[in-house]
Amino acid sequence: MSEVVIAPKTVVAACFSAEGVAELEMVYGVAAAVGLADQPVRLAIRRMEAHGVLDQVGRGRKGRLVLTESGKTRERLDGGHLAFVSSQDAGMPTWQGVWCLYAFSVPERLRAERDSLRTALVRLGAASLANGVYVSPFDLRDDLAAEVAPATIGRYLITAEAARLDGPGLGDPKQVVETLWPAADIEAAYEGLERALSDADGLSEEASVPTRLACALRLAAAFTFALEHDPLIPFELRDPDWSPPIIRHRFREMWERLRHDLPEVRLFRAHDPSATYPTLPADGTRS
């Protein structure tokens, strides 16, 4: 990741208050601070409104955006994923020594259903083991149920557990992990976050609110990018010097510094380091 790229929709999503309202004055101000013109932001708002994520009330900078129930549901799913990250960084859940397998064969005419299963499994960190077969060290069934239509799961998804995986590049658990989820690729995804953290260290205390929010937004974008490329493999399956948890700890420390004197917008609530380590099952499930 050569640089942190902030999409207009990311700016919009970041500016919602705890009540699900975003003032357009703030949205456009933060967008300008990260180098975005008004037009792409307006287009992002229209697309999000068309997808049922938000409603716009009023026009221009005096208007506001309101999250719909669909938008709030997506926010809750994202929050659950971040809670899992925090819990793992606290040392739980631990690996139970079992590989969870997910297999499906969906007719070509039902490509949308097939793609929904594949997309959800990949987003949840599962790796492709063979055509139509995915594997994870975690039980992902509850997470899949939250993202994929129940009828699709009921008709096509087969789950199983295996104590050992054998084949090219497989065998020992750490060997399996390195083959399916190479460490170098994941560490590379955190390089942008390390650069964003270095930039945040140099932020002036006199910086304006939009400028400080823009800095936080760059951090959040880099953090999100890293997590999107990190399957969050249990620590015991990685080498002792595994760096991503250390970088995430640095992020949480910087996040707390930035949020201290800034408005309580969704951006901070969604990455709240004070909401760390909720009680999660220790049996390898993610939710």
Same domain, 248 and 130: no
Q: Is position 52 within any domain? A: yes
Q: Is position 122 within any domain? A: yes
By residue range, what is the domain housing residue 110? Answer: 99-162
Within 13 A of 139's CA, how many CA atoms are on the CB side? 16
Q: Is position 168 within any domain? A: no
Same domain, 1 and 48: yes
Same domain, 257 and 185: yes
Residue 286 and residue 278 in contact, taking contact as beta carbons nearer than 8 Å: no
Same domain, 182 and 237: yes
Same domain, 108 and 185: no
The DSSP bridge partners found for residue 102 are 134, 159
Length of the chain: 287
Q: What does 176-192 look like in DSSP terms, one character per residue?
A: HHHHHS-HHHHHHHTHH
Q: Distance between CA atoms of 48 and 56, rounded to whole angstroms?
A: 10
> Taking the model in full, what pTM does it have?
0.77
Same domain, 126 and 150: yes
Same domain, 188 and 138: no
What stretches of 83-175 adopt beta strand conformation (E)? 99-103, 127-130, 133-136, 158-162
- Cα–Cα–Cα angle for 78, 83, 88, rounded to 5 degrees: 130
Q: Which of 270, 267, 273 is nearest to 213 (CA)?
A: 267
When divided into structural domains, the chain yields a total of 2
Same domain, 89 and 135: no
Same domain, 194 and 74: yes
What is residue 251's three-state secondary structure?
helix
pLDDT tens, N- to C-terminus, the chain (287 residues): 446 678 898 888 888 877 888 889 989 988 888 889 999 999 999 999 998 888 999 888 889 999 888 777 666 666 666 778 888 888 777 899 999 999 999 999 999 999 999 999 999 999 999 999 999 999 999 989 988 999 999 999 999 999 999 999 898 999 999 999 999 999 999 999 999 999 888 887 777 777 777 888 888 889 888 988 999 999 999 998 999 999 999 998 888 888 776 656 556 655 554 444 333 333 445 54
Same domain, 121 and 71: no
The DSSP bridge partners found for residue 21 are 66
Q: Distance between CA atoms of 38 and 95, rounded to whole angstroms?
A: 47
Amino acid, single-letter form, for residue 31: A
Query: Within 10 A of 259 (CB to CB), how many other CB atoms are there?
Result: 20
